[in-house]
A and B are shown apart, each in its own frame.
Chain A
Amino acid sequence: MGTAPASRDVTSYGMGLAAPLALFFLVFFVAPLLQLLWLSLHNDTAGLHWGLGQYLHFLTDPFSLSVLGSTLLLGAEVTLVCLVLGFPIAWLYQRVGPRLQTIIILIVLLPLLTSVVVRTFAWIVILGRQGIINATLQSLGIIDTPLRLLYTQFGVVIALAQVQMPLMTLPLITALGRIDPNLDDASCSLGAGSWRTFFRIVLPLSLPGVIAGCTLTYAAAITAFITQSLIGGGQMLFMPMYLYQQASTLQNWPFASAISIIFLLAVLAVVSVFTTLGRLSRGYGGA
């Protein structure tokens, strides 16, 4: 061993340094996950009979499937709203002076500096029957009876989009900032208008940021227990709340575990679609 000093290179130290984190993950992430898997493979709440009954139940139960479906759809809607609203903000950020940049970044970061609970209650105040929107519309005479905004899919999407917006905007700002501003000018001087420049140059080059932002926003939106439950109320059921009910209220731990595992796999599937898109986009162009 002493004859081969080259083998004791940097990596061996690197591995050693990673050990505490690896141990942490092992104890607090991998172990509970395995326990969850183990629990989900029992057909009864007492945990005596092995089997795939919980999974079969979920996958054949239209109600459970609809909860999964609406949760995944919710994520997609929130992600889309964040992307459509966040991209112009990020684009603007790269084109204004330093003072406006500070203001924009402050606006983007502000939600992160307040608790999710506070932000969600703010949305209740805004969206409620006597809330700001309804009060304004009524006083302007546009509507007679208050609109139902709270406890609707629309309300949940809007509130979640605001709550998760920084997760979209920050990667986009970073990605757009990496694009050489001369490329804009080069495209323009070659005769391209702003739309061509945007779709042929800016958008393709910002794709890594788009994909990172979408992945983060999506994952955060579908697991956002507090906002989903408070804005959605009793009428709307999404996976986190469904899971919570099964585990906490009904004490059906094996079924709750199966829900978790299925939810996890569904999220992983969606995230890997994003990642594959990202790899394709990098490949697009021949690399």
Chain B
Amino acid sequence: MADAQSGRSLVVDAVTHRYPSGALAVENINLDIKGGEIIALLGPSGCGKTTLLRIIAGFIAQSQGRIIIGDDIVDALPPNRRAVGIVFQNYALFPHLTVTENVGYGLAARGIDKATRQREAQRLLELVQLPSMAERLPRQLSGGQQQRVALARALAIKPSILLLDEPFAALDKNLRLDMQIEVKRLQRVSGITTLIVTHDQEEALSMADRVAVLSHGKLEQFGSPSDVYDRPQTLFVNTFVGSSNRMPGVVVSADRTAAKVRLDAGAEIVARPAGGTLSEGGRVTVCIRPEHLQFVSDETGFAGVVGMSLPLGATVVHEVTTADGSGVKVSQARIGETRALENGAAVRLAPLAPSLANAFPATL
């Protein structure tokens, strides 16, 4: 399926959008997406993901900035001339048309004859593994099947960019995993530049080559899944992607690569200054993921008292209350016989490595 349209690059250049109501939905977003990449647009509900998607598709004219597909600035083009394929969250299949007619709709709009349309629809239905459903109506299909049809319909116009708005949110967990694998497979086969909007961080991390994290209309970070997960640039990214313990503290000494922080919980630890340099004496928030904390037997870490322990299959999560009264979560891999921790046991905790604790300037 190597056709000329596939795999064009997409540049979102300083795009800002304010709705007529005055709501600033996206603010100065810059994304440079290479042809054939699969990108996740990740952020909580209301952060402007759909708005950005609709701007790229051409349904909304942005207040400022440019959208560039391949070598073309497309801002003046209406949606029906942008060759952008969209899969809507609710699939938006045409309820009165059969599966074949749905898939062939875009081809009909291009004036392609019926026989060719049907042949092409059949080929795409085979691609999404639904060849036997051709004559059914959308309502006679399950959610997953409808989504496959929506995908086939979007792919039929050989789009240069494929946009998916929360495509898996309505599916149950097992089906979601199937469809995620399916979309990733189709994307690999077709090489279409793909943008997936999601509020599910696992989905973003597992599917995308790169993840753009949005919060309140601003781009917080744009990087590979491991960048975003392991080297978050902002406190928001650190806490939104994966779970994280937030521990307040004061900077004792700092340089560009390491900061010594005195935690309110009562220990001095070395952390990575994330998102800029830190000043001595300034208050910081240190983020440590539950799986990056370990129980230590010497005097290095901070003290705490074990509360609840939750066995979650491969890991056990302990809730520990620290000296300053805040709670932290510690996740321990279940390797053989894990040391049983009783409710109320006194323990000491320390990060596994300095690079696994991220210090951000405190905002409040």
Contacts and interface: CB of A to CB of B under 8 A. Distances in A.
Interface residues of B, number: 32
Contact of B109 (A183, A191, A205, A287): A191
A285 B97 contact: yes
B95 interface: yes
A190 B109 contact: yes
Interface string A170-212: 0000000000101101111111110010001100110000000
A185 B109 contact: no
8 contacts: A182-B88, A186-B86, A186-B94, A187-B105, A189-B154, A190-B154, A192-B109, A286-B137
Nearest to B84: A189
A205 B95 contact: yes
B80 A204 contact: no
B78 interface: yes
Size range of the chain A interface in the assembly: 20 to 34
Interface of A: 180, 182-183, 185-193, 196, 200-201, 204-205, 284-287
A190 B97 contact: no
B274 interface: no
Main secondary structure of the interface of B (DSSP, over half): loop
A135 B26 CA distance: 56
A287 B138 CA distance: 10
Which of A193, A200, A204, A284 has most B Cβ within 10 Å? A200
B109 A189 contact: no
A284 B105 contact: no
B79 interface: yes
Which of A190, A201, A284 has most B Cβ within 10 Å? A190
Which of B59, B92, B110, B136 has most A Cβ within 10 Å? B92
Interface in B45-96: 57-59, 78-86, 88, 90, 92-96
Nearest to A183: B92
B121 interface: no
B91 to A, nearest CB: 9
Given A185-B59, A190-B105, A287 B86 contact: no
A192 B105 CA distance: 8
B94 A191 contact: no
Interface in B214-258: none
B41 interface: no
Which of B85, B96, B109 has most A Cβ within 10 Å? B96
Given A186-B92, A201-B94, A196 B109 contact: yes
A180 B96 CA distance: 12
Nearest to A287: B137
B309 interface: no
A189 B74 CA distance: 14
Contact of B90 (A182, A190, A286): A182
A286 B109 contact: no
A189 B105 contact: no
A-B pairs, top 4 by smallest CB distance, nearest first, are: A190-B106, A182-B92, A285-B96, A192-B109
Contacts of B78: 188
Nearest to A205: B96
Contacts of A196: 109
B145 interface: no
A45 to B, nearest CB: 55
B96 A204 contact: yes
B98 A286 contact: yes
Contacts of A200: 94, 105
B19 to A, nearest CB: 12
B153 interface: yes
Nearest to B110: A191
A173 to B, nearest CB: 19
A185 B79 contact: yes
Contacts of B271: none
A286 B135 contact: yes
B157 interface: yes
Contacts of A187: 94, 105, 109
